[in-house]
Chains A and B, each alone.
Chain A
Amino acid sequence: MSAQTAEHGTMTLKLIVWRQTGQGKQGRFETYTAKNITPHHSFLEMLDVVNEDLILEGKEPIAFDHDCREGICGMCSQVVNGVPHGGQERTTVCQLHMRKFKNGDTIYIEPWRARAFPILKDLVTDRGALDTIIQEGGYTSARTGGVPDANAIPISKADADYSMDAAECIGCGACVAACPNGAAMLFTGAKVAQLAALPQGQVEAPARVANMIRAMQECGFGNCSNHYECQAACPKGIDVKFIARLNREFLKALFKSKAGSHVFAGE
């Protein structure tokens, strides 16, 4: 806690917030004052306070996505002072607390900015493109019922742990927002790696990686050029090694003649 906040108990902050009435509309920055903010407010609770004031003044509150407010649903999505989720290591913006700021600070708040995520309103974007990528292959084709006993296929602890490291992705899209190329390769790589590491996922691995990469490109995401901004911004600390795995799986799929000829037939 800074000396200033300890002295006064509460903070006053200047917020410069991106406002946009709808998709494709002209947006602009507006300035607001957040008053009576304690160090214990979460960042979103600070915005709640500002919104309550705006509503009572008869003005439109700031629209922003949020739901679980405990860092797991992946819905919250704000660029704070130029950094997705605000820059606290492995922390979503809903878990960022105001004790990281000090009285009198100016805070810039913007939506995710990426070609594949159109802005719907203010800080709210459409991240449906991430769902599209998963729909193109982020699964095993196991039917409900008719699967073997869970212990029928042993999986080494190392593989299971590696798979879980990748599976921790919450699909928030911070990796895309942080990437200078607007790439979704950390997101896609995490899913490809999670399934490629398990026997259950290996059967469809070649088709999966090819289809997911194609979807990624069709959705307007860029490609990785090794900036590693995604890993730095990721609230779950997903490692860029999964992008390397994505590339490796892609190459493997190319060389697997049988699957490859089928998968890449259209290209």
Chain B
Amino acid sequence: MILDGKCPTGPIEQTWDKHRFDMKLVNPANKRKYKILVVGTGLAGASAAASLGELGYNVETFCYQDSPRRAHSIAAQGGINAAKNYPNDGDSIYRLFYDTIKGGDFRAREADVWRLAQVSNNIIDQCVAQGVPFARDYAGYLDTRSFGGAQVSRTFYARGQTGQQLLLGAYSALSRQIKAGTVKLFPRTEMLDLVLVDGEAKGITVRDLVTGKVRCHTGDAVLLCTGGYVNVFYLSTNAMGCSVTAIWKAHKKGAFFANPCYTQIHPTCIPQAGDYQSKLTLMSESLRNDGRCWVPKKQGEKRPANEIPEEDRDYYLERKYPSFGNLAPRDIASRAAKEQCDDARGVGPGGRGVYLDFRDSIRRLGEDTIRERYGNLFEMYERITDENGYKVPMRIYPAPHYAMGGLWVDYNLMSNVPGLFVLGEANFSVHGANRLGASALMQGLADGYFVIPYTVSHYLAQSKPGKVKEDHPECKKSIGEVEGDMKRLLSINGKRTVTDLMRELGILIWENVGMARSKESLTDAIARIPGIREEFWKNVKVSGNGADFNQQLENAGRTADFIEFAELLARDALHRNESCGGHFRVEYQYEDGEARRDDTNYCYSAAWEFKGVGNEPELHKEPLKFENVHLAVRSYK
């Protein structure tokens, strides 16, 4: 099937305005008759629920954490992009649009990205009105800084906690609606199934994580704002509870999954210290402004870093990318670090690390200046590694960080399942094959504050409210299925823990479907994943019972979904015979190691249709048309 994103046509700068006028509205008095279910309370979910509640819709919102304020958007450090052009440095909506398309390696829809760039300015206005304490200059105006992939200074920030401040802004707007009674909050509640009635999304089945009770909530539309899936690698910078479960359940009910192979591996994270490790911690990319990446020239070097003389050090980024040096883009820097470690020149435990050395900057600028710029990061590094980054070089290694892929949506953020909308990192829409820094926060809030209030109204205006109630046979069926899965998990009583099995899956996916993929590694992964799936369903041990607070059971369900999803991830990566953005196939590179994109054969989004566990999914293509930006090779030499 050839998919249609239903993008408006005509001059791109008028597309969103024209589309907004063309969409249908719901009469103010009728809005309260419609119920909207919003799953997830990160930037996308909280801003959507707050805005829809304020419009008068009857909203129910769900999160697995104990409070909506804890969603993982809170961990974003760097900032949020907007085309305000306050610094008068040549920025514009068009330039932000262009940078985002190019940064995504020409694998996103033009119209969606244009809209994102256009509403980016409204986001900053909105957040300031909410009392978000952005950084300001001495005149009292908003300060900006530069970020990767852009030549202008368009990133607004709140110290190193921009995500936290934006999320607390959205959370406060949500709290106001909860108080007003337009939004009903269900914390510690996890979505475990999507309920379809006559092919339309009409409800969700959830588990109350405190009582263990499974129940159905019905509504007139369902919004999934449930984040990304890079915990499929087991170790990532995501929170422990981040999972593919909500979007995977929707996928199994018919929603297409688009471009799962576009995963972002962030180059500057603290390396893994041991097998027991549960997560990886990101260190802001800004460190590479003053730190130099190097590894020893000699394989298996045993000397401590400070005893290795200059002539025995390989400043590999500066050597390979003389014009960008240590500030090479994320995908390039990550792959280069992996190459050095694969060549047995990595440092630290297990040889999976490279040095990020501030010695020369400290000599040039003094330790105080470095402390002023990055003090909190050095502190965090020391807390985790017990090493003083001022005295010995930091050790860093790439880590899975963000998912560009997600459920397929049209221009209205609606999936191919009518009534099912997908927002933020959970959808695939705007970042193409690679996301630029400070663009994730922008997308989450754009979708929630400024896109969905229009597009969901357009959908609801064409449907009758309250058609499905909780006693509908489809609800009972769904509850039965979810309870059945839980009983099955609890009854296996095998010999391996959930964590043990998830770790096994993660290692396989990281090794074979990670930073560098090949036909062999992907074929091998596809052959081995069913074995892990069988082992899981035969030998997992989940203690306790279902009618209780049971964190093992929660993790078991998420792991089962990750195992199924991993196969799709590998299949998508195998089918895409090109390298682009976060997807690097070793067979498709230029002689200098740069990614070789194939616009003749792969200039499309790949949307997969579920055909049963273990069966080959069906591929649907949405061709990408570039009418405003010329396709070009990304080069950083």
- What's the Cα separation between A136 and B54 when bound, in Å? 16
Scan residues 38-91 of chain A and give those whose CB is less than 8 A from a CB of chain B: 38-42, 44-45, 48-49, 52, 54-56, 58-61, 63, 65-75, 88, 91
Instruction: Select one of A61, A73, A171 contacting B239, CB under 8 A.
Output: A73
Q: Which residues of B are found within 8 Å of A135, using beta-carbon distances?
A: 175-176, 178-179
Instruction: Give the residues in chain A near B51, CB-CB below 8 Å.
Output: 144
Is B274's beta carbon under 8 Å from chain A?
yes
- Determine the distance from Cα of A200 to Cα of B450 in the docked complex, in whole angstroms: 21
- How many residues of chain A get a CB closer than 8 Å to chain B's CBs? 78
B125 touches A147 (CB 8 A): yes
Q: Nearest A residue to B132 by beta-carbon distance? A: A167
Assess the B240–A69 pair: CB atoms within 8 A: yes
User: For the complex, is B136 an interface residue (Cβ under 8 Å from A)?
Assistant: yes
B173 to A, closest residue via Cβ: A139
- List, in ascending order, chain B residues with CB within 8 A of A52's CB: 497, 499-500
Residues of A within 8 A of B277 (CB): 45
- Known contacts A68-B75, A73-B74, A171-B69: does B136 contact A55 (CB below 8 Å)? no
B86 / chain A contacts, CB cutoff of 8 Å: 151
Take A128-B67, A131-B67 as given contacts and tell me if A69 and B497 are in contact as well, using a CB distance cutoff of 8 Å. Answer: no
Q: Is the C-beta of B139 less than 8 angstroms from some C-beta in chain A?
A: yes
Is B142 interfacial (CB 8 A cutoff)? yes
The distance from the CB of B149 to the nearest CB of chain A, in whole angstroms, is 23
B246 CB, min distance to chain A CBs, angstroms = 16
Interface membership of chain B positions 158-170, coded 1 if the CB is closer than 8 angstroms to chain A and 0 otherwise: 1101001100100
Give the contacting residue for A60; candidates B158, B240, B543; CB below 8 A: B543
A231 to B113, CA, bound (A): 45
CB within 8 Å: A-B pair count:
218
Least Cβ–Cβ distance between A90 and chain B, in angstroms: 8
A139 touches B187 (CB 8 A): no
Does the CB pair A195–B131 fall under 8 Å?
A: yes
Q: Chain A contacts of B500 at CB under 8 A?
A: 52
Cβ-based interface call for A156 (8 A): yes
Q: Does A239 contact B (CB under 8 A)?
A: no
A147 to B132, CA, bound (A): 14
CA distance A81 to B631 in the complex (A): 61
Does B126 contact A144, Cβ atoms closer than 8 Å?
yes
Q: Is A194 among interface residues, defined by CB-CB distance under 8 A?
A: yes
Q: Confirm or deny: A154 has a beta carbon within 8 angstroms of a beta carbon on chain B.
A: yes
Whether A91 contacts B386 by the Cβ 8 Å rule is no
Residues A168 and B161 in contact, CB atoms below 8 Å apart:
yes
**CB-defined contacts of A201 to chain B, threshold 8 Å:** 131
**Complex contact A91–B383 (CB within 8 A):** yes
Q: Which of B507-515, B544-552, B560-568 contacts A (4 or more CB under 8 A)?
A: B544-552
Residue in A closest to B139 when the chains form the complex, CB atoms = A154
Give the chain B neighbours of A88 by CB distance below 8 A.
Answer: 383
Interface size class of B (residues with CB under 8 A): 35 or more
Q: What residue of chain A has the Cβ atom nearest to residue B53's Cβ?
A: A144
B366 at the interface (CB under 8 A from A): no
Indicate if the CB atoms of A126 and B384 lie closer than 8 Å: no
Q: Is the CB of A149 within 8 A of B175?
A: no
Complex interface residues of chain B between 70 and 97 (CB less than 8 A to chain A): 70-72, 74-75, 84, 86
Beta-carbon contact of B384 and A97 below 8 Å? yes
The reply to whether the CB of B140 lies closer than 8 angstroms to some CB of chain A is yes
B159 contacts which chain A residues (CB < 8 A)?
164, 168
Among A73, A138, A139, A161, the residue within 8 A (CB) of B65 is A73
Please determine whether A150 and B125 come into contact, CB atoms closer than 8 angstroms.
Answer: yes
- Residues of A with C-beta under 8 A to B139: 154
Asked whether B172 lies within 8 Å of A147 as measured between CB atoms, the reply is no
Assess the A144–B75 pair: CB atoms within 8 A.
no
Bound CA–CA A167/B163 (angstroms):
12
Q: How far is the CA of A56 from the CA of B493 in the complex (A)?
A: 10
Q: Do A72 and B75 touch (CB < 8 A)?
A: yes
Binary flags per residue of B118-135, CB closer than 8 Å to A gives 1, else 0? 000010111111111111
Contacts of A160 in B (CB 8 A): 133-136, 140
Q: Is B279 an interface residue (CB 8 A)?
A: yes
Confirm or deny: B527 has a beta carbon within 8 angstroms of a beta carbon on chain A: no
**Contact between A145 and B136 (Cβ–Cβ < 8 Å)?**
no
**B241 within 8 A of partner (CB):** yes
* Complex partner residue of B141 from A39, A120, A154, A164, CB under 8 angstroms: A154
User: Chain A residues near B135 (CB, 8 Å)?
Assistant: 160, 164
How long is the Cα–Cα vector from A52 to B126 in the complex, in angstroms? 46
Counting chain B CB atoms within 10 Å of each CB, the highest count among A60, A67, A99, A195 belongs to: A67
For residue B273, CB closer than 8 A to chain A, the reply is yes
Task: State whether the Cβ of B50 lies closer than 8 Å to any Cβ in chain A.
Answer: yes
- As a 0/1 sequence over residues 33 to 72 of chain B, the CB contacts with chain A under 8 angstroms (1 = contact) are 0000000000000010011001000000000011111111
Complex contact A45–B276 (CB within 8 A): yes
Q: Is the CB of A138 within 8 A of B172?
A: yes
Could you tell me if B140 and A155 are in contact, using CB atoms closer than 8 angstroms? yes
Can you list 25 residue pairs at the A/B interface with Cβ under 8 Å?
A40-B385, A45-B277, A61-B551, A61-B552, A68-B240, A74-B69, A75-B66, A95-B380, A97-B383, A128-B66, A130-B67, A131-B68, A135-B175, A138-B172, A138-B175, A142-B126, A144-B453, A147-B126, A147-B128, A150-B84, A150-B128, A157-B136, A157-B140, A167-B158, A168-B161
Measured CB to CB, the residues of A under 8 A from B are 1, 22, 38-42, 44-45, 48-49, 52, 54-56, 58-61, 63, 65-75, 88, 91, 95, 97, 99, 120-121, 124, 126-128, 130-131, 134-136, 138-145, 147-151, 153-157, 160-161, 163-164, 167-168, 170-171, 194-195, 198, 200-201
9 closest A-B pairs by CB = A154-B140, A139-B172, A147-B129, A142-B129, A163-B133, A164-B133, A144-B51, A150-B128, A67-B239
Known contacts A68-B75, A160-B135; can you find 13 more A-B pairs with CB under 8 A? A67-B65, A70-B279, A72-B161, A95-B380, A95-B384, A99-B386, A140-B172, A142-B129, A143-B54, A144-B51, A150-B128, A151-B84, A168-B164
